[in-house]
Amino acid sequence: MIKKINLSQQEKEEIYNKYKGGVSMRKLEEQYPYSFTFIQKLVKSFEFEDNLNKNYPQKDGYYIVAICKKTNIIIDDYKNTSGAITNHLKSTYPDIIIESNYKRKSKEYKTGKFWYDEYFLFDYVLIKKIKKCEYCDWTTTDVNNKSGAYEKHLKTIHNISIENHIKQYPSDESYFKKYEDTSEIGLVECKVCGKKLKIINEKHLNKHGLTVREYKIKYEHINIVSDDFLDKMKLQYEKCLKIQPFTRISKLEKKIIENVNDVAFESSNRTILNGMEIDLYVEDKKIGFEINGCLFHSEIFGKKDRNYHLNKTMKCLEKNIYLYHIFEDELYYKSEIVYSKINHILNKNKTIKKIHGRKCEIGVNLNNNIKKTFLNNNHIQGNDKSNINIYATFEDEVVAVMCFNNNRNMNKAKNHNKNIYELTRFCVKRDYIVNGIASKMLKLFIRNFQPDKIISFADIRWTPNPSNNLYTKLGFQFDKQIKPDYTYYNPKIDPYNRFHKFNYGKNKLKNKFPLSYHENKSEWEIMQEEGFDRIWDCGKYRYVLNIKKGEN
């Protein structure tokens, strides 16, 4: 059983004052024996409680209740910790749209008032009787011990058994009499009906009109699964998942299987990487696909560190297997491009149109709007900010675009050589093959713009082999491997989106998140405090093409 952390008001204020003084939550985690999540909640709740007490001041001898303006029903839980107010609003106003918990909390933190303030009046009611803990300031209005909350408080907060407590305070014996024989080995007790069970599940709680979540909120710190039953569940997990083949197919994997033509995918292969799973594997091609859900492939929640995806790719490459990584947001926003790329990789696209590059007309600097639309429809990264592009048309239809840029200061030097270009995008129209077009477009660019050098970066997620790919075929030389990079992720803002780190540089965070910002905090510390996680990619390969004058 997890022991509840009980802080004095003095220690709460000490932690909060340090935070306001510029000490980051990560630094506080190092100074105190509490987790980052605990400190984050403490700080946020402390800020809210401060505003709460100004709007709903406490009075000695009274407690606050919420009174529905429409029905006059009184709800004791005016802070809505049990969800009673939310449930009441749903039944009273069937058409009401209840915003997400994140948005509701955001409103409360900003205004210092409850999100449901417009529906309720708040009033003071005289406290008739309370039961006070003999060891701290904790109190309960459960003077008849119907919930067993005091018993649980003593065990979890003060580590005192009922027997030892009664020895010190004999007058409490009658108070705990109802519960003195509840410690039956191997079972847990339902606090509603007193029945002892191996597990208090949804089926049992339906009899009481409760869900498991509501039960946990109402009876905080109460176990719903017995230790014996939990041990059996763990053993079953080991048996089913670790020993026997596990072939559950996720919704994302099903989408790919349904939209890729005539491919015998093997799902959840664990033999190739000695227990590490490859989501979809095509044995005859020696090609695998990782379908990475954003939440479960994040750094903090998903426990996927900066090298996780790269290491998996490299382990496959050692076995001559090409592993491609597809993130959830790509399937959500760019599904047709993803399916086309997979079909192309596996050479399984039935609707493909094959054209030879010599039959195409090529030109320089396609109209920006046409270029933007073409890249967004055909390239996984979408449009770019390149200042030069080469395009190819067949029968007056754009079939390929190659983009270059010499404005980006890649070496951060003031005297950046404008004759060094970056090849930023190349893509062919979906479901088309245009043989030789990349070489033809590159030669036209070199002939027209006379660059000294062209560099380009290949995303390892889509280019797993550094020595056999489009760049090496075009004459580029492998230069170096770039370490994995990250994007930010916050499922409460958008569960299907990764946010580019460029928009969250520390110089921008002062205006974005003024409450969390402090010059002594790092960008990552501030972003964590604002609820963001990170998702790491596989890194990139850097390629260079040195141009000999007089070529082409």
One-character DSSP codes across 384-447: ---SEEEEEEETTEEEEEEEEES-S-TT--TT--TTEEEEEEEEE-TTEEEETHHHHHHHHHHH
3-state secondary structure 424-442: EEEEECCCEEEECHHHHHH
State how far the Cα of 444 lies from the Cα of 545, in Å rounded to an integer: 15
Q: What is the pLDDT of residue 549?
A: 67
**Residue-by-residue pLDDT tens, the chain, 552 positions:** 455 667 777 888 888 888 888 888 888 888 888 888 888 888 877 777 777 677 777 777 777 888 998 888 888 888 887 788 888 898 888 888 888 887 887 777 777 788 898 899 888 877 666 778 888 877 776 777 766 778 878 888 888 888 888 888 888 887 776 544 444 556 888 888 888 888 888 778 888 888 777 787 778 667 787 777 766 665 554 444 443 444 456 778 888 888 887 888 888 888 888 878 899 999 989 999 999 999 889 998 888 999 999 999 999 999 999 999 999 999 888 999 999 899 889 888 666 788 999 999 999 999 999 999 999 999 999 999 898 999 999 998 999 999 999 876 554 445 567 789 999 999 999 888 899 999 999 999 999 999 999 999 999 999 999 998 999 999 999 999 999 999 999 888 888 889 999 889 888 888 888 877 888 888 998 888 888 899 999 999 999 999 876 655
State the amino acid at position 532 in one-letter form.
F
Q: How far apart are CA 95 and CA 470, in angstroms?
A: 56
Instruction: Report the first-to-last Cα separation within the chain, whole angstroms.
Output: 74
Cβ pair 325, 290 in contact under 8 A: yes
What is the structure's pLDDT at 250? Answer: 75
What pLDDT is attached to residue 451? 92
Give residue 182's pLDDT. 40
Q: What is the pLDDT of residue 552?
A: 56
Residue 103: count other Cβ atoms within 10 Å of its Cβ.
13
Nearest to 384 by CA among 400, 405, 362, 365: 405
The domain limits of the chain are 1-55, 57-128, 133-229, 255-345, 353-485+537-546
| Contacts by residues 64-68 (CB-CB < 8 Å, ≥ 24 positions apart) | 64/122, 64/123, 64/124, 64/125, 65/122, 65/123, 65/124, 65/125, 66/116, 66/120, 66/121, 66/122, 67/120, 67/121, 67/122, 67/123, 68/92, 68/119, 68/120
Q: What pLDDT shows up at residue 415? A: 56
Residue 139 · residue 131 · CB < 8 Å:
yes
- The residue whose two tokens read 């404005």 is 407
Give the sheet arrangement for strand 533-536, strand by strand.
499-500, 486-489, 533-536
Q: Give pTM, 2 decimals.
A: 0.57
CA atoms of 392 and 444, how far apart (whole Å) = 11
The 10 Å CB-count burial string (b at 16+, else e) for 362-374 is beeebeeeebeeb
Q: Which is the CATH superfamily of the domain at 353-485+537-546? A: Gcn5-related N-acetyltransferase (GNAT) (3.40.630.30)
- In the beta sheet, which residues pair with residue 478? 543
- The CA-atom distances, in angstroms, between 433 and each of 34, 428, 473 are 57, 7, 16
Architecture of domain 255-345: 3-Layer(aba) Sandwich (3.40)
